[in-house]
Amino acid sequence: MNELSDAKIEEIRAGLLAWFAANHRDLPWRHTRDPYRVLVSEVMLQQTQVDRVIPYYERWLALFPTVESLATAATSDVITAWSGLGYNRRAVYLQKTARAVIENHRGVFPSSLEELVNLPGVGPYTAGAIAAFAFEQDVAFMDTNIRRVVHRLVFGSDIPTRQATEREILAAAERLVPEGFGWAWNQAMIEFGALQCTQRRPACVVCPLQRQCAAFPEIQTDIAELPVGVRLKNEATFHGSNRQFRGRVVEELRRSTSATLAELGPKVKHDFAERDLPWLYGVVSGLKRDGLVTIKEPAAEYDPDSPVPDLVVALPD
């Protein structure tokens, strides 16, 4: 780790805020300080590209413009409105958060990190984002972009075989936040990681923070020499995974409202056979645990020799 002196901190702050002022994108959630709208944007932006999120964000707010409207909506409507964004459990947790705000906080979002992180479905990152972007607090928090930028600036190259600890990165991030600029600083960090200091091809040659960046002398060599077989974060295979089949089950139920396991099977897996019933039951059981579906008793008598009763699966009421 290079020394994070007061002079270096001031140089980083000045350079990054100037870069953000000149290069930031005009995004709809940057025009609000409503904690509900900030929450919606942050949940939607998790592992989803910004350009893809914008129309979903706008449609969602047309359907559920306030925390009260989301809290009182039917969960099936919430899941249907989430269609196309993936990770459907996020929609359920978003509604659970809204209901907790109504039931436990009289409809007013708490502003402290301690209270925010105790809301269902709200982790340290989301709590920090709400504190910074809705309440303009001078807080530090970690997402993929912020972590990468801080690591490179302070600790050097962030290849998987040579990384600082999460505690070290957070401590450095906390020192970097300029007093009175929590909103702009954290927006700038996220934007810089998304547009300039990217994971695979950082624009080091035209980076305004070259002189302050601990990684600049080595990062391009490190990326080029990354060993074959070393996977970077967030590159988990999706095709053929249970996550893909979970999404297919929910998408089918959005169209048909309910279906038996035998009806669902061929619609979510092209080579589905009776031997796959236990597997499909496991998939829908996981969805039930996450609040995304309900499982009802068999619609009729079932064959006792069948590996799994032909249960009826539906979206929650």
Query: Which residue numbers are catalytic?
Result: 42
Residue 224's identity, in one-letter code, is: A
| Sequence-distant (≥ 6) Cβ neighbours of residue 146 within 8 angstroms | 173, 186, 189, 190, 193
Q: Where are the beta strands (DSSP E) in 115-221?
A: none
Residue 145: which of 84, 225, 202, 227 has the closest Cα? 202
CB 134 within 8 A of CB 41: no
Question: What pairs with residue 313 in β-bridges?
Answer: 259, 295
Token pair in block for residue 137: 């607090």
Of 151, 156, 195, nearest in space to 25 by CA: 195
What Rg value do the Cα atoms of the chain yield, rounded?
23
Q: Residues 262, 309: contact at Cβ < 8 Å?
A: no
Please tell me the distance from the alpha carbon of residue 165 to that of residue 169, in angstroms, as a whole number. 6
What's the length of the chain? 317
Residue 228 CA neighbour count, 13 Å, CB half: 0
